[in-house]
Structure 1
Amino acid sequence: MSSADTSSAPSTPPLPDRASTAPGPESTRPGPRPRPAGREPRMATRKEGVGAVVDCAVYVDGRRQAPVEPEEALRAAEASGGFVWLGLYEPTEEELGALAEQYDLHPLAVEDAVFAHQRPKLERYDDALFMVLKTATYVEHEELTANSEVVDTGEVMVFLGPHYVITVRHGHHGELGDLRHRLEEQRDLLCLGPAAVLYAVADLVVDTFVDVAGAVEDDVDELEASVFSPSRTDDVGRLYQLKRELMSLRRAVSPLEVPLQKLAEREIDVVPGGIRSYFRDVLDHAIRVRDQVAAQDELLTSILQASLARTQMADNEDMRKISAWAGIIAVPTAIAGIYGMNFDHMPELEWRFGYPMVLLVIALACFLLHRGFKRNGWL
């Protein structure tokens, strides 16, 4: 992604607290929401015996410090004036609950991070933020079929506080290990605090959306060429499947605009002013990929309508051909039916050339009908 505009963002009113989820200092936090009937925690898919913690490090002045245990990381970060970046992969309710007490995470945000299946959003809880981002990857396939999986989605949740950032990943893609290594090489960016990690994660997610949208566009072009090819094809099933897969990508991209706009324009304690220009750059890319996905969806709708119209036209053409041949065959059938009647007095029955004459009349009538249908485009 291109470098962000470094101009300072205009001053805007602070992000208002949410009455239902962000109580003031004097109020008591609500307990966990009752679990809806039939809603069970997301089953972790990590290997058995492997913990939820992927990586844990304390950063001071943009530099990674000596290894520290997750239980001591926050205390070390507060003592040194830095922040801790704790990476988790599909934690269980018990694992994240233990960390929630230590980092004072809001129970509503903890529940969302455990159950996953959330829409992109940004929540503010006192002096902390909780952001949900959908991740996406393109599923390679040799040929697009009516059952092909094209877009696979996952989720990344980010808890952001004054001295910590916790990333929780769900899904088989969207690894953040390479991102952490690249970010550790950008000390100036890490000096901006935990918000720099949130920016880097959002930037990575949106860049992935751009790649996925570009790959899906190739599938759209292939279907468009197939629908308008000279040979007759049945692409309705493939079109509908790709439209469904594109909807998954659209649900991941479209809701992301509002959270990024808040991060780019509003004054938030844990998001320093110097990082807002970076979020504006991410917002610009998100809007661009949103428009790209919307255009692909509209194009697929047009292609689907064109495919249905072409199928209908082909059916009409077949019916015209059938009707034309039925009309041609009706002539000899009618004449043969008439002369098949067992009457004694019928014209030309005793005439020597009566039989050849009837065949000649049948052939001439069929030829004239065929010529007429051909001229009118029915045959």
Structure 2
Amino acid sequence: MLINCVVYEDGSKLADIPVSRIGEYLSLPRCFVWVALNDASQEELLELQQAFDLHPLAVEDAQNGHQRPKVEEYGDSLFVVLHLLDADADAPRTAMEVGELDVFVGRNYVVSVRNRSSHGFVEVRERCQREPELLRNGPGFVLYALMDAVVDRYFPAIDAFDVELEGIEERIFTQGGARENIQGLYGLKQRLTVLKHAVAPLLEGANKLHGGRVPQLCVGTQEYFRDVLDHLNRINGSIDAMRDTIGIAIQANLSMVTIADGEVTKRLAAWAAIFAVCTAFVGIWGMNFEQMPELKWRYGYAMALGLIVSICGYLYYRFRRAGWV
């Protein structure tokens, strides 16, 4: 679905145009066309391929979707893939939906194709139009603005994960929550891995736009891509730190389970020892031999019960002091 098709000249919006008139403006000096689509059909991509002479391999990637984040050069044009992560910040346990933003950038055009995501980029277009002095840098600045918006959306997810992890850490030493804690930790680790797959490959791509042989499209905007790279490094560092913390938390949780099992084992062993004494004495007096002194003694039964109760009580006292019962 076509969202916008706008012509910009010298940093200012010139006109909204239909796709059929794109060719009229591509040859104008200091002009570029920005086309935005959502869940584009194959026919729409083919029409734009013909209008902008997009590389067929890049178009094929956009049609297939589910690409790894990357920055690829095709002659004097760029093809950039970004992952869009849609998660409810108020419900961090909700599974993350992974969308995709494919961006074709050339000397006089930008084509952004959003797939499987409900969160648009209206604010990016508004930001660019509020800063005409920066928009004069052309498609390179638009690419930066799109990448910056996508990367900035990762920060709320990191903050939500951090809050969730702190909550689980507080519950680790609470009895009875071991299973829930393990489920929460592994669920959080899975969502962090999704975010890691969105950030780590993009680090290499963003570095291409900042240092070394910078593509001609990005000349003049390197410092802006350096800012994106800095944000990606911060997010990547936070992900690695949280994954390490999750590993430690899992080990601590398992240790608490082992300790709890040990406490149960000690209690069972203590009660088993107490009842073993009862069983031993009862077994002795239950052998039914004819010559047993206690059988004909008037107080023999009471003495036997008293002896059993006394020894069991003494054992209970000692186990109680040792913390076993």
State whether TM-score is above 0.5: yes
> What SS does the corresponding residue of 1:65 show, helix, strand or coil?
strand
Equivalences, count: 323
Alignment match, 1:53: 2
Matched, 1:364 2:310: yes
Alpha-carbon separation, structure 2, partners of 1:309 and 1:108: 52
* Deviation digits for residues 143-162 of structure 1 (CA, Å, limit 9, x no counterpart): x7xxx424332111110100
Alignment match, 2:34: 85
Alignment match, 1:315: 261
> What SS does the corresponding residue of 2:102 show, helix, strand or coil?
strand
Alignment match, 1:154: 99
> What SS does the corresponding residue of 2:15 show, helix, strand or coil?
coil
Alignment match, 2:52: 103
Matched, 1:267 2:214: yes
Q: Pairwise mapping of residues 215-234 of structure 1 onto structure 2 (< 5 A)?
A: 215-229=160-174, 232-234=177-179
Matched, 1:326 2:272: yes
Aligned CA distance change for structure 1 residues 327 and 93 (closer, same or farther; 3 Å): same
Alignment match, 1:293: 239
Match of 1:201 among 146, 163, 178: 146
> What SS does the corresponding residue of 2:27 show, helix, strand or coil?
helix
* Deviation digits for residues 326-361 of structure 1 (CA, Å, limit 9, x no counterpart): 111111122222222322222311111111211121
Aligned CA distance change for structure 1 residues 77 and 347 (closer, same or farther; 3 Å): farther
Query: Residue 233 of structure 1: CA displacement?
Result: 3.8
Amino acid at match of 1:237: Q
Q: Flag as ranges the 4+ runs of structure 1 deviating above 4 A.
A: none
Amino acid at match of 2:173: F
Alpha-carbon separation, structure 2, partners of 1:214 and 1:324: 48
Query: Residue 127 of structure 1: CA displacement?
Result: 0.9
Query: Residue 204 of structure 1: CA displacement?
Result: 0.7
Amino acid at match of 2:222: R
Aligned CA distance change for structure 1 residues 53 and 213 (closer, same or farther; 3 Å): same
Aligned Cα RMSD in Å?
1.7
> What SS does the corresponding residue of 1:349 show, helix, strand or coil?
helix
Q: Is the 8 A contact 2:69 2:198 kept in 1?
A: yes
Aligned CA distance change for structure 1 residues 232 and 57 (closer, same or farther; 3 Å): closer
Matched, 1:173 2:154: no
Amino acid at match of 1:94: E
Q: Is the 8 A contact 1:121 1:132 kept in 2?
A: yes
> What SS does the corresponding residue of 2:21 show, helix, strand or coil?
helix
Alpha-carbon separation, structure 2, partners of 1:74 and 1:331: 98
Alignment match, 1:258: 204
Amino acid at match of 1:192: N
Alpha-carbon separation, structure 1, partners of 2:116 and 2:293: 87
TM-score, normalised by the number of residues in structure 1: 0.81
* Deviation digits for residues 33-58 of structure 1 (CA, Å, limit 9, x no counterpart): xxxxxxxxxxxxxxxxxxx2111100
Amino acid at match of 2:67: Q
Alignment match, 2:185: 239
Q: Is the 8 A contact 2:101 2:112 kept in 1?
A: yes
> What SS does the corresponding residue of 2:307 show, helix, strand or coil?
helix
Q: Is the 8 A contact 2:87 2:96 kept in 1?
A: yes
Amino acid at match of 1:243: K
Percent identity reads: 38
Aligned CA distance change for structure 1 residues 320 and 167 (closer, same or farther; 3 Å): same
Query: Residue 249 of structure 1: CA displacement?
Result: 0.8
Give unmatched runs, 5+ long, in structure 1. Answer: 1-51
Matched, 1:75 2:24: yes
Match of 1:62 among 5, 11, 33: 11
> What SS does the corresponding residue of 1:217 show, helix, strand or coil?
helix
* Deviation digits for residues 63-93 of structure 1 (CA, Å, limit 9, x no counterpart): 1112211121243132243100000111122
Alignment match, 2:127: 182
Matched, 1:129 2:78: yes
Give unmatched runs, 5+ long, in structure 2. Answer: none
> What SS does the corresponding residue of 1:342 show, helix, strand or coil?
coil
Query: Residue 140 of structure 1: CA displacement?
Result: 4.5
Query: Residue 141 of structure 1: CA displacement?
Result: 5.5
Q: Is the 8 A contact 1:58 1:77 kept in 2?
A: no
Alpha-carbon separation, structure 2, partners of 1:228 and 1:82: 63
> What SS does the corresponding residue of 2:86 show, helix, strand or coil?
strand
Aligned CA distance change for structure 1 residues 231 and 345 (closer, same or farther; 3 Å): same
Alignment match, 2:157: 212
